[in-house]
Amino acid sequence: MEVGQWVHTKYMGKHDCTGFVTAVFPDFKRCKLRVTTCENYPKMKWLEIAYEDAITDHYFYSMVEIKSLIDLALATYDKEWFHQLATYLT
């Protein structure tokens, strides 16, 4: 699990939620997500989940999301992440 990674999860085992990792807690095998969409809970903004609850191969970036993540990478001075995201624009 890495900061910036997009994941999909089932909140409470049944509600589809998507977001990106903002913090990892390796000692506890958990991570914190900035929720971008959550079925039945549209106002949910943050969620903490176990690594095993993350479904990493579900999500594909939209152009709007890529541009927002690029802005975030620039704001956090994360050059490597910026270059990784920029490859999606070509």
Q: Are residues 69 and 44 in the same domain?
A: no
* pLDDT tens digits along 19-41: 889 999 999 999 999 998 888 88
The pLDDT mean for the chain works out to 85
- Give which of 32, 40, 33, 36 is closest to 13, Cα–Cα: 40
The confidence score (pLDDT) of residue 56 equals: 64
Q: Are residues 29 and 70 in the same domain?
A: no
> What's the CA gap between 3 and 26, in Å, rounded?
12
* pLDDT tens digits along 50-80: 988 887 655 566 778 888 888 988 999 999 8
Q: How many domains does the chain have?
A: 2
Which position has the higher pLDDT, 86 or 90? 86
Q: Are residues 52 and 69 in the same domain?
A: no
Please give the residue range of the domain that contains residue 15: 1-59
> What's the CA gap between 1 and 17, in Å, rounded?
17
> What's the CA gap between 6 and 70, in Å, rounded?
14
Q: Are residues 50 and 9 in the same domain?
A: yes
- The alpha carbon torsion through 41, 43, 45, 46 (nearest 10 deg) reads -40
Q: Are residues 53 and 65 in the same domain?
A: no
The confidence score (pLDDT) of residue 55 equals: 79
pLDDT of 12 > 90? The answer is no
Q: Are residues 3 and 42 in the same domain?
A: yes
